[in-house]
Amino acid sequence: MQERQSIHGSWASRWTFILAATGSSVGLGNIWKFPYITGENGGGAFVLVYLACIAAVGIPIFMAEVVVGRRGRQSPIHSMRDVALEAGRDPRWSWLGWMGALAGFMIFAFYSVVSGWVLAYVFHTLNGTFNGAGSEAVGAVFDGMLGDPTTLTLWHTIFVAMVMVVLSRGISKGLEQAIRIMMPSLFVLVLLLLMYALTTGSFGRGVEFLFAADFSKLSWNSVLVALGHAFFTLSLGMGAMMVYGSYMPKNASIAGTAMIVAGLDTLVALAAGMAIFPLVFANQLDPGAGPGLMFVTLPVAFGGMPGGQVFGFLFFLMVSIAAWSSAVSLMEPAVAWMVERFPVSRNQACLVLGAGGWVLGLGALASFNIGADWLLFGMNFFDFLDFVTANLLLPLGGLLTALFVGWWLPARISRDEMSRDNAAGYSLWLLLVRFIAPVAVLVVFVANLYSKFAA
Ligand code: PHE
C-alpha cells in the first residue's frame, strides 16, 4: 500500500520528533507530581516500581502508539479507524481515539490550572515575595491564591492562550519552532538547578531518599500510583504520542526513539527529585508534604537560601516551559481531528477547543474555592479529573492500544513500521506488548480494586 501523507505537516527530522515527544512527556508530571508522590509513597521502593513500569509497560506501549500513528498519519480517532480497516478489523476501534481525546480534555482542564499557579509563582519569585518567608507565610500566599477564583481564572486564561497560540500555528511553524527554543532552555535550567542543589550540603540525603528502597512502605495502591504515573509522565494512553507519531518520518527507528524519549523523561524526573529533596532536607522540611511540596515547601527552601530568589525564579520558569510544551500535546489529538473532520481552519479549531478546555478548567479551579463541596465519588472536581485520567483512563487506553497492536494488528503491518529495528528487538517488543504490558496493567487494576473493596 502506498504510504499515507499527513495533511498537517511533518517533523523536519527524527530529532525533532524526539524533542517534541520529550517536550510532551516532560512536564508537571516530572517536576510537580513525581517528587510529591515519591515523597508520599516513601521514596526509593516506589521509584524502583516506577522504573519497572516505564521499562516493561511504558516503552512498549509508547512504541505501539507510534506504530498506529505513523501508519494512519491522522488524528488518533481517524488513525485507529483506518489502521483497523487496513488490518481487516472493526472500524469502531476509533472509539479508543475518542476515549483518548476525552482524557486529553480532562487532563488539560486541571493541568492548565496548576500551570497557572506556576505562572503566578514566576512573578512571585521575580518580586521576591518569598524572600525570608517561613512555611506559614508561603502557605498563606498559596492558600490565598487558591481561595481567589479571579486570580486563578486570570492565570488559567493566560496559560490556555499560550497553548492555543502555539497550536494554532501548526506543526512546523508552531510546535516545532516552540520546541526548538523550549527544550534546550529546559535542559540548561535543569542542570543549573541540580548544581544549586549540590551547594546545599544535603544532596546526599536527597539522593538517599530517592534511591534507598524500603519495601515496607509499599502498598498495592502505591503500585497503582506508580503505574498510572508511568502513563501520565510518558503522555501515554490518550493519543498524544500517536498524533506526534503521525508526523514522524518513515525512516526513523521506533524502538530507538522511544528509548531516548523515555530515558530523557526519567532523567528529568530524577533530576527534579535530586534538585528538590536536598533543598527540602537542608531546611528541615517534610518530603511527604503532598501536592503543596512544590508550591509551599520549595519556596520556603528558596526563601531561606543565598541566591534563592534567582534560583527560585529560574525553577518556576523551567516548570512553566515544561508545562507549556506538554499541554500543547494534550490538545493536538482533538485539534487534528477537528481539522480533518470539518471544513474549519486550525485557528478556528483551536478557538473552539481551547474555549472548551478553558471552561472545563474553570470547573477544576472552583474546587479550591466556591466549588469545594461539589463532590463526585467523594472527590472534588479537580481530584476527580486527576484520578479518573491518571488511574483509570490512561491505563485503560494503554491496555487497549497494546491489545490492538499486539493481537489485532497483523505482524505484516507492525513489522513494516518497525523495519528499522532489528528482528530480536521486534520479537521482544511483541512479547511485551502482547503479554507483559496487558497482564501488568490488569493485575494492578484488579489487585487495587480488591484491596479497596475487600479491605
Ligand atoms: N506527560 C505530561 C507530564 O508529565 C503530562 C501529559 C499527559 C501530557 C498526557 C500529554 C498527555 O506532565
Q: Residue 129 has what pLDDT?
A: 94
Which tens digit of pLDDT belongs to each residue from 299-328?
998 998 888 999 999 999 999 999 999 999
Judge whether 4 lies within some domain.
Answer: no
Q: Residue 257 has what pLDDT?
A: 95
Ligand 1 near 38 CB (within 6 A): no
* Orientation angle between helical segments 308-341 and 14-25, nearest 10 degrees: 110
CA of 395 relative to ligand 1 center, distance in Å:
13
Test site for ligand 1: of 25, 167, 175, most ligand atoms within 8 A of the Cβ: 25
**DSSP-based three-state secondary structure for 368:** coil
CA separation for the pair 15, 18 (Å, rounded): 5
Judge whether 5 lies within some domain.
Answer: no
Which tens digit of pLDDT belongs to each residue from 26-48?
999 999 999 989 988 888 999 99
Distance of CA 437 to the CA centre of its chain: 19
Ligand 1 near 241 CB (within 6 A): no
Ligand 1 near 24 CB (within 6 A): yes
CA of 333 relative to ligand 1 center, distance in Å:
13
Which stretch of 96-110, 159-173, 215-229 has the lowest confidence by average pLDDT?
215-229
Q: Which residue range is the domain that position 189 belongs to? A: 14-454
Judge whether 137 lies within some domain.
Answer: yes
How far from 5 is each of 67, 151, 168, 436, CA to CA, in Å?
15, 44, 20, 33
What's the mean pLDDT in 159-185? 93
Judge whether 134 lies within some domain.
Answer: yes
User: Which H helix or E strand runs over 380?
Assistant: strand 379-380
Strands 379-380 and 375-376: antiparallel
Burial of 164 (0-12, 13-18, 19+ CB in 10 A): buried
- Residues 6 or more apart in contact with residue 15 via CB below 8 angstroms: none
What percentage of the chain carries pLDDT values higher than 70? 99
What's the mean pLDDT in 209-226? 86
Ligand 1 near 107 CB (within 6 A): yes
Judge whether 8 lies within some domain.
Answer: no
Judge whether 6 lies within some domain.
Answer: no
Which tens digit of pLDDT belongs to each residue from 242-297?
999 999 999 899 999 999 999 999 999 999 999 889 888 888 888 888 888 899 98
CA of 347 relative to ligand 1 center, distance in Å:
23
CA separation for the pair 323, 261 (Å, rounded): 16
Ligand 1 near 23 CB (within 6 A): no
- Residues 6 or more apart in contact with residue 284 via CB below 8 angstroms: none
Q: Are 8 and 171 in contact (CB under 8 A)?
A: yes
CA of 391 relative to ligand 1 center, distance in Å:
13
CATH number, domain with residue 160: 1.20.1740
What's the mean pLDDT in 334-356? 97
- In one letter, which amino acid is 55? A
Ligand 1 near 414 CB (within 6 A): no
Ligand 1 near 380 CB (within 6 A): no
On the question of pLDDT at 1 being above 80, the answer is: no
Burial of 432 (0-12, 13-18, 19+ CB in 10 A): buried
On the question of pLDDT at 82 being above 90, the answer is: yes
Reported confidence tier of residue 200, pLDDT bands at 50, 70, 90: confident
Which grid coordinates are listed for 81? 479507524
Q: Residue 455 has what pLDDT?
A: 58
The whole-chain average pLDDT of the chain stands at 93
What percentage of the chain carries pLDDT values higher than 90? 74
Ligand 1 near 22 CB (within 6 A): no
CA separation for the pair 170, 96 (Å, rounded): 24
Judge whether 158 lies within some domain.
Answer: yes
Q: Are 234 and 437 in contact (CB under 8 A)?
A: no
Which stretch of 63-67, 181-185, 408-412, 451-455 has the lowest confidence by average pLDDT?
451-455
The predicted model scores a pTM of 0.94
Ligand 1 near 266 CB (within 6 A): no
CA of 106 relative to ligand 1 center, distance in Å:
12
| DSSP code string of 53-73 | HIIIIIHHHHHHHHHHHHHH-
Task: Name the domain count of the chain.
Answer: 1
User: Which H helix or E strand runs over 359?
Assistant: helix 346-366
On the question of pLDDT at 65 being above 90, the answer is: yes
Judge whether 425 lies within some domain.
Answer: yes
Ligand 1 near 115 CB (within 6 A): no
CA separation for the pair 137, 144 (Å, rounded): 10
Q: Residue 238 has what pLDDT?
A: 96
**Which atom number of ligand 1 is nearest to the Cα of residue 28?**
12
> What residue owns the CA closest to ligand 1's atom 6?
235
Q: Residue 288 has what pLDDT?
A: 85
